[in-house]
Amino acid sequence: MAVSSARAVAFEILLRVEREDSYAAELLHSAPLAKLSSRDHGLATELVMGALRWQSLLDQRLAAASSQKLERLDGEVLAALRLGVYQLKFLSRVPARAAIFESVELVKAARKRSAASFVNAVLRKIAEAGAEEIFAEIGKSPDASTLAQNAAHPPWLVDRWTEHYGLEAARQICTHDQTVPGTAIHIHDDRSETELAEAGVELAPGRLLSAARRVLVGDVTATRAYQEGRVSMQDEASQLVALLAGRGETIVDGAILDCCAAPGSKTALLARRNPRAKVFATELHPHRARLLQNLSRMRNVYVVAADARHLPFVRTFDRILADVPCSGTGTLARNPEIKWRLKVEDLHHLQSRQVAILKSALAQLAIGGRLVYSTCSLEREENEAVVEAALDATAGFKVADFKGDMEQLRQSGEMCWKDIASLLAGPYLRTISGVHPCDGFFAAMIERNKG
């Protein structure tokens, strides 16, 4: 009997994530998967993301039931086992016999037939143990070490979150990372919301920003509005960063730079709020630059291929957004594979690149201009430490406080989140995934002195 399409796809994606350092979210939205029914695509997504979110906990259960060490198993066998135990422990609507049978068939199809009886025996043993209250265990975790184990996170990450934010916040971060995140969108025109409703997409107001929308029902990506770039999939914290970057006096006949622009949602928001400014969007890698193609519909946006560490412009800019490549630890609910790849030494490598980008961007900032530096990271090395390093021994710049801008956004009705203080860490913007209804983001505003 053939393996179901959803499980076959999930199996192949897990292998590619492991072997090629691919990103699951990108693979799940790739062209080959377009042929899947919506039901099969939904199951494949559940299986892939669930297996990645809970990988270490799944491996704990497998190790306890296995007669062989997991590190000695072939990749195909381990992937099939992880898919099987995820279904047994987390998907009550999937019969145990189906989860076990299809995992065995995956191993056979991958030409690992000799392991079929082993996979069958391990999964049957786990099935006999029954269900577990896994989320309840997260809530009862008394310390960082136990929390990391129960919430399937690397201990070193949970240790630093506990140190920086406290145990309760670390628990909220971990719980958020282990749940399916909501989808937020930004609508760039006045007619698309009606179009989405007609296409069966049900929306709710944003929790952070009044202009944001949360998707309750429906597939936004299948709509014409999304495909034409009139709607962007954009977390509310990301929208807030773009909103802050474009604030202040409207730029007329001036210029704005988004120096790490892909996929372009922040660029589009900047361009819409400043229709008489020229907005330059730079991106280094061709495959990411292609994500900016929809910006061509906006008459005031100019896409430039460039390395943000060595910007090619001779002019200066009134506003600059430097939303730099980072570890992404504020987005682990959407990109769970990151937590298994990331090492503490990676943060220092990323930091050197981020400092280089920020210094390059500061050199392009006009006198009296404002630059917003941002990441979707929870780590100090990529946030405050980068700002401090870039401004060290650099005259003419200062960190400005976001508090006034945030209060103005609330008073104008653009921000519907009431607790402004919880979004601030000194002069900086700081959202924490799980604590706030969005991804984890950091932003700093830097001004170039006039005198």
Q: What is the mean pLDDT of residues 183-197?
A: 93
Of 52-61, 128-137, 260-269, highest mean pLDDT = 52-61
Amino acid 192: pLDDT: 94
* Confidence check: pLDDT of 204 > 90: yes
* Confidence check: pLDDT of 1 > 60: no
Identify the CATH number of the domain defined by range 5-128: 1.10.940.10
Q: What is the mean pLDDT of residues 373-384?
A: 98
Domain ranges of the chain: 5-128, 135-177, 183-232, 234-448
Output 171 or 221, whichever has higher pLDDT. 171
Q: Could you tell me the CA-to-CA distances from 439 to 269, 271, 429 in Å, in that order?
A: 18, 23, 13
Whose tokens are 């995820």? That residue is 86
pLDDT tens sequence across 314-340: 999 999 999 999 999 999 999 999 999
Q: What is the mean pLDDT of residues 132-154?
A: 94
Q: What is the mean pLDDT of residues 281-287?
A: 81
Bridge partners of 447, per DSSP, are 370, 398
Query: Mean pLDDT for the chain?
Result: 93
Amino acid 395: pLDDT: 84
CA 251, CA 239: separation in Å to the nearest integer? 19
Q: Which CATH number fits domain 183-232: 3.40.470.10, 3.30.70.1170, 3.40.190.10, 1.10.10.10?
A: 3.30.70.1170
Q: State how far Cα 80 lies from the chain centre.
A: 26
Q: Which of 371, 241, 431, 205 is nearest to 420 (CA)?
A: 431
- Predicted structure pTM score: 0.94
pLDDT tens sequence across 233-256: 999 999 999 999 987 666 667 899
CA 64, CA 95: separation in Å to the nearest integer? 22
Q: What is the mean pLDDT of residues 429-450?
A: 96
CATH topology of domain 234-448: Rossmann fold (3.40.50)
